């Protein structure tokens, strides 16, 4: 049970600014994902919540109490590390029991609590092994069990799935989400993988360059990106961003012409179209390009088109095939177009 | 560009049809690496293996000034009956063992406090100092401090801890203590540096995880860092242990084995047999026995520590 609040939190090392003035409120039992490219400050922000890093300024508040000066071991926070950080000299049982021992939980309860935590992550058979004898996925589950065994106030996860292969990753994703719903523990999850963010989060916090770019539910972020950075980061494949200008209500870029754009003439803008909002057309329409590559994924076909100076990706039917260098005409879903300022990248429409 | 380069090269080759691919004989190919390391190996053999083999050979003879008389295993059987030999072995174990234990504990304690310190580079240089002095010079300093100059006694008297001079070399345990202090002073830094490096090499995330699990620094050290240091400790103890069994300079300069042979280590015993009584065969036999002991102990330690140290 805990609310987390960050008030004007900053972190810098000398002149280097890692996290710049972050304000954020995380509700009790909420699952929040920090999403951003590497070096954007998401992990540093999480480490400040954990108490592993001291903020250079601002306040970290857990359950109404400013915890800036509270040592990491005295915040009731559990963390799952990217490297799992299991204790190699202990068996899995000892690993999971360690937080109980250190926090003075009565010995009589240890065995039962450890067993219950291990069962939650389906790890019961491996308790007497050492971490070195487990696979990556099993280690990951052991790390999860160690975090949940003492029912912490806050759950922090630092890219916990990035060392797993794709199949295991999606399986563990479901497990983590299920576990969080069941235990009702406030969770902060750091990742650079937008699929993880979209599937897991109640709310996503997108960070770049040490600052928060946008906070919102996955749906909000997907359908209302605040700027070109977010638009280009979310979605797989991401939104197509076309740099061009507006002339008399028409957006013009090499190979692209979209009428009815509501912006003053001569303004540099960036037009955003998601790949699924583009449709192959038999007659010339908003865009014309030549086929650069075809990537069938089974349920759909991703088509890369080349315009004069850009590559453009659209989503086509699963049975679409075309030889390279064929000319293709594309129409856009007119009410699903995004318009960004050409200079600042901020959303205009 | 690469393509055009490849074509021009291709035409060049076809223009010289007589170009033959040379093959080295497999024998020469295998020999070459050995040739490269040969100088070093020969040098090593000359300065270690030859004297070693020579000493073992010599140990089967009574060596006198007039010639070598074959002795069979008699040097060895005499040694095993020699109370002075066993006393020297015991002294080596006691003095070496206590020194080594103290060095380990002190070095590990210092390392625990120092390894997270931002000034650690500075500490390392300061702690390294004693190791840089010449052992014989250090031995003379300690001899002055404990015996000839009575510095230690004086200090203790000033502090009011004792009332009269202590004759450090007149008492069995005081004399041994002198050797232990000298060795600990000079060699703790060696272990300290190894231990600091070992602790610093440990995964920081494991420490952080333990921190969040609620462990204090001492708890992290006892439960995680120290167990993970086992292989490092094993290597350090073996290196230092081998060194300590050959402790000679301090004994030679400070105590000369007094009082009553209570500080005579095996090295000093061998020296005395060889260069004082000129019983070279006997001294060689003692060296050979010591070599066997050391190898056995080192092997046992290594096996034990590394087997259980594996994750």
For the ranges A54-58, A213-217, A239-243, B20-24, the lowest mean pLDDT is seen at B20-24
CA pair distance A9, A26, nearest whole angstrom: 14
- A241-341: CATH superfamily: Nucleic acid-binding proteins (2.40.50.140)
Chain B CB contacts of A146 under 8 Å are: 209, 213
Q: What percentage of chain B carries pLDDT values higher than 90? A: 47
The predicted model gives A159-170 an average pLDDT of 88
pLDDT at B9 over 60: no
Report the residue from A74, A85, A130 with minimal CB separation from B209. Answer: A85
Q: What tens digit of pLDDT does each residue of B249-273 get?
A: 889 998 888 788 889 999 999 999 9
> What integer pLDDT is reported at residue A264 of this predicted model?
80
- Nearest residue in B to A147, CA atom: B213
In the three-class reduction of DSSP (H, G, I as helix; E, B as strand; rest coil), residue B160 is classed as: coil
Segments forming the whole domain that contains residue B91: 78-309
ipTM here: 0.83
Tell me the residue ranges of DSSP E strands in chain A: 4-13, 16-26, 31-35, 57-62, 65-66, 77-80, 154-158, 186-191, 203-208, 211-216, 240-247, 250-253, 256-259, 268-273, 278-281, 287-296, 301-306, 311-316, 327-332, 338-341
**Domain-located, residue B161:** yes
> What integer pLDDT is reported at residue B169 of this predicted model?
83
Average pLDDT taken over every residue of chain A: 90
CA pair distance B154, B143, nearest whole angstrom: 14
Q: Is A70 within 8 Å of chain B by CB?
A: no
Cβ contacts of A204 within 8 Å, gap of 6 or more: A32, A33, A35, A197, A198, A214, A215, A216, A217, A218, A221
Q: How many CB atoms lie within 10 A of CB A104?
A: 8
Only one residue has tokens 């050290």, namely B221
pLDDT at B10 over 60: no
In the three-class reduction of DSSP (H, G, I as helix; E, B as strand; rest coil), residue B211 is classed as: helix
What are the C-alpha distances in Å from B41 to residues B27, B45, B55, B74?
20, 6, 20, 34
CA pair distance A191, A207, nearest whole angstrom: 11
Q: Is B204 within 8 Å of chain A by CB?
A: no
In the three-class reduction of DSSP (H, G, I as helix; E, B as strand; rest coil), residue A56 is classed as: coil
Q: How many CB atoms lie within 10 A of CB B244?
A: 20
**Domain-located, residue B305:** yes
- Residue A36 token pair: 């951003």
pLDDT at B14 over 60: no
Cβ contacts of B20 within 8 Å, gap of 6 or more: none
B5 — pLDDT class (breaks 50, 70, 90) = very low
Cβ contacts of A144 within 8 Å, gap of 6 or more: A80, A121, A160, A175, A176, A179
Cβ contacts of B191 within 8 Å, gap of 6 or more: B103, B104, B107, B108, B236, B240
Buried b (16+ CB within 10 A) or exposed e, B177-192: bbbbbbbbebbbbbbb
The predicted model gives A31-47 an average pLDDT of 93
CATH number of the domain encompassing residue B111: 1.10.3720.10
Torsion sign (Cα): B94, B98, B100, B101? positive
- Nearest residue in B to A74, CA atom: B214
**Domain-located, residue B180:** yes
Report the residue from A51, A79, A89 with minimal CB separation from B228. Answer: A89
The torsion of the CA quartet A117, A119, A122, A123, rounded to 10 degrees, works out to 70
Instruction: Give the number of domains in chain B.
Output: 1
What are the C-alpha distances in Å from B45 to residues A119, B37, B40, B54, B271?
61, 12, 9, 12, 23
Q: How many CB atoms lie within 10 A of CB B78?
A: 15
- Residue B114 token pair: 């120092």
Q: What are residue A290's DSSP bridge partners?
A: A306, A327
The predicted model gives A230-244 an average pLDDT of 89
CA pair distance B56, B75, nearest whole angstrom: 11
Contact A81 B215 (CB under 8 A): no
A311 — pLDDT class (breaks 50, 70, 90) = confident
Q: Which CATH number fits domain A4-233: 3.40.50.300, 3.40.50.11290, 3.40.50.1010, 3.40.50.620?
A: 3.40.50.300
Cβ contacts of B198 within 8 Å, gap of 6 or more: B111, B229, B232, B233
pLDDT at B77 over 90: yes
Q: What tens digit of pLDDT does each residue of A75-104 get?
A: 889 999 999 999 999 999 999 999 999 998
- Residue B135 token pair: 């052992």
Q: What tens digit of pLDDT does each residue of B151-170 get?
A: 888 888 888 888 888 888 88
The predicted model gives B102-115 an average pLDDT of 93
- Residue A101 token pair: 């021992």
- Nearest residue in A to B206, CA atom: A85
Chain B CB contacts of A50 under 8 Å are: 208, 212
**Segment 137-196 of chain B within 8 Å of chain A by CB:** none
Q: What tens digit of pLDDT does each residue of B176-207 get?
A: 999 999 999 999 999 999 999 999 999 889 99
Tell me the residue ranges of DSSP E strands in A274-318: 278-281, 287-296, 301-306, 311-316
Q: Determine the distance in angstroms separating the CA of A115 from the nearest CA of chain B, rounded to an integer.
A: 18
Only one residue has tokens 């315009």, namely A307
Could you state, in order of their start, the residue ranges of all structural domains in chain A? 4-233, 241-341
Nearest to A11 by CA among A22, A23, A2, A1: A22
Q: Could you tell me how many residues make up chain A?
A: 349
Average pLDDT taken over every residue of chain B: 86
Whether A303 contacts A316, CB under 8 Å: yes
CA pair distance B53, B59, nearest whole angstrom: 10
**Domain-located, residue B23:** no
Whether A191 contacts A34, CB under 8 Å: yes
Q: Determine the distance in angstroms separating the CA of B121 from the nearest CA of chain A, rounded to an integer.
A: 21
Whether A188 contacts A34, CB under 8 Å: yes
More confident residue, B20 or B247: B247
CA pair distance A122, A125, nearest whole angstrom: 8
Tell me the residue ranges of DSSP E strands in B53-157: 61-63, 68-70
Report the residue from A82, A83, A131 with minimal CB separation from B311. Answer: A131
CA pair distance A224, A228, nearest whole angstrom: 11
Q: Determine the distance in angstroms separating the CA of B127 from the nearest CA of chain A, rounded to an integer.
A: 30
């Amino acid at each position: 049970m805990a609310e987390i609040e960050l008030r004007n939190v900053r972190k810098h090392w000398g002149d280097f600014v890692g996290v710049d003035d972050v304000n954020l409120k995380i509700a009790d039992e909420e699952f929040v994902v920090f999403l951003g490219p590497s070096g954007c400050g998401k992990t540093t922000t999480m480490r400040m919540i954990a108490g592993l890093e001291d903020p250079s300024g601002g306040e970290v508040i857990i359950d109404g109490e400013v915890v800036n000066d509270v040592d990491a071991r005295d915040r009731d926070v559990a963390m799952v590390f990217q490297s799992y950080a299991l204790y190699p000299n202990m068996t899995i049982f000892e690993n999971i029991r360690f937080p109980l021992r250190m926090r003075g939980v009565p010995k009589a309860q240890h065995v039962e609590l450890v067993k219950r935590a291990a069962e939650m992550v389906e790890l019961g058979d491996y308790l007497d092994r050492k971490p070195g004898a487990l696979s990556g996925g099993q280690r990951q589950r052991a790390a999860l069990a160690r975090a949940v065994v003492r029912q912490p106030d806050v759950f922090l996860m630092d890219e916990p799935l990035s060392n797993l292969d794709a199949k295991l990753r999606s399986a563990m994703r479901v497990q983590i989400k299920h576990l969080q719903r069941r235990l009702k523990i406030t969770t902060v999850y750091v990742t650079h993988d937008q699929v993880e963010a979209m599937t897991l989060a109640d709310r996503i916090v997108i960070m770049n360059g040490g600052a928060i770019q946008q906070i919102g539910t996955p749906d909000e972020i997907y359908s209302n990106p605040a700027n070109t950075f977010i638009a280009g980061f979310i979605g797989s494949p991401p939104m197509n961003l076309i740099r061009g200008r507006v002339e008399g209500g028409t957006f013009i870029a090499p190979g692209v012409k979209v009428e009815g754009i509501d912006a003053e003439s001569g303004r540099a803008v960036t037009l955003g179209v998601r790949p699924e909002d583009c449709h192959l057309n038999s007659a010339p329409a908003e865009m014309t390009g030549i086929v650069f590559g075809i990537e069938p994924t089974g349920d759909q076909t991703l088509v890369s088109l080349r315009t004069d100076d850009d590559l453009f990706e659209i989503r086509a039917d699963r049975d679409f095939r075309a030889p390279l260098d064929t000319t293709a005409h594309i129409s856009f879903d007119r009410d699903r177009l995004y318009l960004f300022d050409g200079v600042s990248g901020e959303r205009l429409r | 560009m690469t393509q055009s380069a490849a074509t021009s090269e291709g035409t060049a080759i076809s223009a010289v049809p007589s170009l033959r691919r040379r093959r080295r004989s497999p024998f020469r190919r295998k020999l070459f690496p050995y040739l490269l390391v040969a100088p070093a190996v020969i040098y090593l053999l000359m300065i270690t293996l030859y004297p070693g083999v020579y000493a073992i050979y010599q140990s089967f003879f009574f060596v006198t000034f007039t010639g070598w008389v074959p002795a069979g295993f008699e040097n060895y059987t005499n040694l095993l009956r020699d109370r002075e030999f066993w006393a020297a072995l015991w002294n080596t174990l006691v003095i070496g063992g206590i020194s080594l234990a103290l060095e380990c504990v002190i070095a590990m304690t210092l390392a625990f406090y120092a390894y997270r310190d931002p000034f650690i580079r500075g500490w390392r240089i300061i702690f390294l100092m004693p190791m840089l002095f010449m052992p014989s010079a250090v031995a003379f300093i300690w001899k002055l401090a404990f015996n000839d100059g009575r510095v230690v006694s004086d200090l203790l008297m000033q502090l009011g801890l004792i009332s009269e001079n202590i004759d450090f070399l007149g008492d069995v345990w005081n004399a041994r203590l002198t050797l232990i202090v000298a060795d600990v002073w000079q060699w703790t830094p060696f272990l300290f540096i190894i231990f600091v490096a070992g602790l610093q090499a440990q995964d920081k995330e494991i420490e952080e995880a333990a921190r969040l699990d609620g462990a204090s620094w001492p708890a992290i050290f006892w439960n995680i860092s120290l167990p993970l240091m086992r292989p490092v400790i094993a290597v350090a103890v073996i290196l230092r242990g081998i060194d300590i069994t050959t402790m000679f300079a301090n004994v030679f300069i400070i105590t000369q084995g007094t009082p009553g042979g209570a500080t005579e280590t095996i090295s000093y015993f061998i020296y005395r047999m060889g260069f004082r009584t000129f019983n070279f065969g006997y001294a060689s036999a003692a060296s050979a026995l010591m070599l066997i002991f050391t190898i056995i102990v080192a092997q046992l330690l290594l096996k034990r520590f590394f087997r259980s140290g594996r994750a």
